[in-house]
Amino acid sequence: MNDEFSKRLQRAFDYASMAEIARRIGVPHATVRNYFGGRLPAPEVLIKIANQTSVSLNWLLTGKGEMLVGVAPKLDLGRIFEERINEIIDRRFAASPSEPVEELGTIDAPPTFDIETAVRNFDDPQRVMNEWFRFEGRDYPEDYGVVFFQGWSSYSSAEKIEAVRDAKKVLDRTLKAK
């Protein structure tokens, strides 16, 4: 049984050296050597081992039951951050006053606003968006921090028009969902 205890002790400490185990549980190196030689630790040392390694005392002594005590599921920080960010965005949208959005038809329907002319005349995406919203009788929600237009100066005319259309679709969906 004591040889089995020695194996469980090594496993509990992830096969660390005797010196490392001694340091972690606060006993002399020679004492740990005795444990590896077949001697069982005193009850207070067993408790230290269990606390240091999060193993079950039952498993440590008998090899039965679950090895680890209170194993918490791994946190999915990405999911937690995404949920938190979505909560903040939802609160911000809910706090900002806006007029109801009128039904604009399907998203892929051709717009009545002349995007090509606006892009050609203004060559400024924020201005084009502002004009388009004004054309529809709405205020452009500038506080939404639209970032669709990075690299605008390097876009071709067709790419600029598509970028404006895409940004408008996203904003319309966002405003409609409120």
What are the residue boundaries of the structural domains of the chain, listed by start?
2-62, 99-177
Let me know: does 29 contact 22? Beta carbons within 8 Å.
yes
Q: Which residues of the chain have pLDDT under 70?
A: 1, 70-75, 98-111, 142-148, 177-178
pLDDT in tens, 15-64: 999 999 999 999 999 999 999 988 999 989 988 999 899 998 889 889 88
Backbone conformation region of residue 83, classed left if phi is above 0, alpha if psi is from -120 to 50, else beta: alpha
What topology does CATH give the domain 2-62? Answer: 434 Repressor (Amino-terminal Domain) (1.10.260)
Q: What is the pLDDT of residue 106?
A: 64
Question: Could you tell me the pTM of the whole model?
Answer: 0.40
